[in-house]
Amino acid sequence: MSSAAAPTLSLPGDPPGGRRAAWVWGIGVAVYFVAIIFRTSLGVAGLDAADRFHVNASALSTFSILQLLVYAGMQIPVGLMVDRLGTKKVLTLGAVLFTLGQLGFALSPSYGTALASRALLGCGDAMTFISVLRLGARWFPARRGPLIGQIAALFGMAGNLVSTLFIARALHGFGWTTTFVGSSVAGVVVLVLLLLFLKDHPEGHEPPPVEHAGAAYVRRQIAASWAEPGTRLGMWVHFTTQFPAMVFLLLWGLPFLVEAQGLSRSTAGELLTLVVLSNMVFGLIYGQVIARHHAARAPLALGTVTATALLWASAVLHPGHAPMWLLIVLCVVLGACGPASMIGFDFARPANPPERQGTASGIVNMGGFIASMTTLFAVGVLLDATGDNYRIAFASVFVLEALGVVQILRLRSRAAHRERDHHVVSRVEAVHVPV
C-alpha cells in the first residue's frame, strides 16, 4: 500500500458535516468527557480510597478491575444496542448509569457498596465512546472519520485532565463525599443537554431500518464483524497500545511515583497531568497524519508500542530512583498510547458497512480494556506477593505487549489485502449509482 494519502471518496448519502453537525456531535462528546472524569477519578483517589475502605493493593485494584470488567463485557452488547436503537437512547441510559455510579461511590459506607457503585459507573461509561463514534459517522463525511475519532478521544483526555487537576485538589480541600457528590452534578447537566438537543442523524440521512432483532440477528452481526481481518487487527492494535497508559493513569501511576520513586503527591500529580497533555497533543498529530497517509496506521501503532516498552523498561528497571528527566520522557511517551489505540478503529471502520459499525467498534474497544483489566489485576497481585516490588509488578506489561505485537504482525497483511478489495468495490458502486 502506498504511503501517499488514500484517495477520498464521497459516497452518495455522505453526511455534509457543518456547524449543526459539530453542535450535535459536541453534545455527545460532552457526555463522554464527563464519563472520563468519573472513570479516572479513582486514579487520583487511590490512596484515599485505600485509607477510607481499609484495603490492600489487591483489593484496591479490584475497584478498577471490576469497572473495566463491566466496561469490556458491555462493549459488544453496547455496539449491538447502538446499531439497533440509535445513539440518543444508548447515551441517555449511559449518562443515567454513570451519574448514579459516581453518586453511589461518593456515599458508599463500605467497600462492597463502593464496588457496586464502580460497576454501575463502568456500565454507563461503556455506553459512551462507541455512541460518540457512531454519532460522528452519522453527522460527518467518512473522510473525516480518523480526525473526528481522535478529537473525541482528545476531549476524553481533557476529562482525565480535570481529574488530575481538580478532583485531586478537591479531595484534599473538601473531602471525599463533597468532592464526589459535587462531580456527579456534571452528569446531570450533560443528561439534560442530550435529552434536549441531541439527534441521531441529520434530516435526509436516516439509516436503513434494521430487519429484525433476536438471537439470530445478534449472531450475524458479531460473526460478520469478527470475520473481517480489519476488525480483529483493530482489536489487537487497541489491546496492545492502550493499556500501559490506562494502567498508569487509572490506578497505579500515582502509587508508583510516590512509593517507588519517592516523589511528593503534588509532583506525581503533575507528571500524571503531563501524560494527559501529551495525549492531547499526540491525538491531534496522529489524527492529521492518518487522515492524510492511511498507510501510516500500522507503523504509528507499532512505533508507539516500541517506544512505550523501551521507556517503561528504562524507568522501572533503573537502579534506585529513576532521574526526573526519564520519568518526564516516560510520561510524554505514555501520552501517545491513547491516540495510538484509536488507530484500531481506523482499521475496523473501512472493513465494515454502516449497519455494523457499532458492533465492530465494540469488538475493537474490548481489546485495550481487557489488557488494562488483566494488567491492573496482575500488578496488584504481584505487589502484594513481592512486598510492593514495582519492578516485578510493572514487568507484567511486557507480556501483553509481546502478545499484541505478534497478533498485529500476523493480521496486518491480511487486513490490508481485504481493505483494498473493499475500496475497489466502493469505487465501482459509487460510479454506478445514478445521480
DSSP per residue, 73-94: HHHHHHHHHHHHH-HHHHHHHH
Q: Tell me what the pLDDT averaged over the chain comes to.
A: 85
Q: What pLDDT score was predicted for residue 123?
A: 93
Nearest-angstrom CA–CA distance, 296 and 322: 33
Distance (Å, whole) CA 279 – CA 163? 15
The proportion of the chain whose per-residue pLDDT surpasses 90, expressed as a percent, equals 46
**Model confidence over 113-154: pLDDT tens digits?**
999 999 999 999 999 988 998 888 888 887 776 778 778 888
Q: How confident is the model at residue 426 (pLDDT cuts 50, 70, 90)?
A: very low
- Helix then strand then coil, in percent of the chain rounded to 5, is 85, 0, 15
Share of the chain above pLDDT 70, in %: 90
| Nearest alpha-carbon partner for 103 in 34, 194, 152 | 34
290 pLDDT more than 50? yes
Of 42, 69, 52, nearest to 111 by C-alpha is 52
Asked whether residue 75 carries a pLDDT value surpassing 90, the answer given is no
**What pLDDT digit, counting tens, does each position of 195-223 carry?**
999 988 777 666 666 555 567 778 888 99
Tell me the C-alpha distance between 371 and 357, whole Å.
22
pLDDT of residue 8: 41
Closest CA to 61 of 264, 246, 275, 266: 246
CA distance 153 to 210: 29
Q: What integer pLDDT is reported at residue 47 of this predicted model?
A: 75
Confidence check: pLDDT of 9 > 60: no
Q: Is the pLDDT of residue 423 over 50?
A: yes
What was the pLDDT predicted at 206? 65
| C-alpha Rg value of the chain to the nearest Å | 21
Residue 73 pLDDT greater than 70, yes or no? yes
Residue 52 grid coordinates: 477510607
The number of C-alpha atoms within 13 Å of 408 and in the hemisphere containing its C-beta is 28
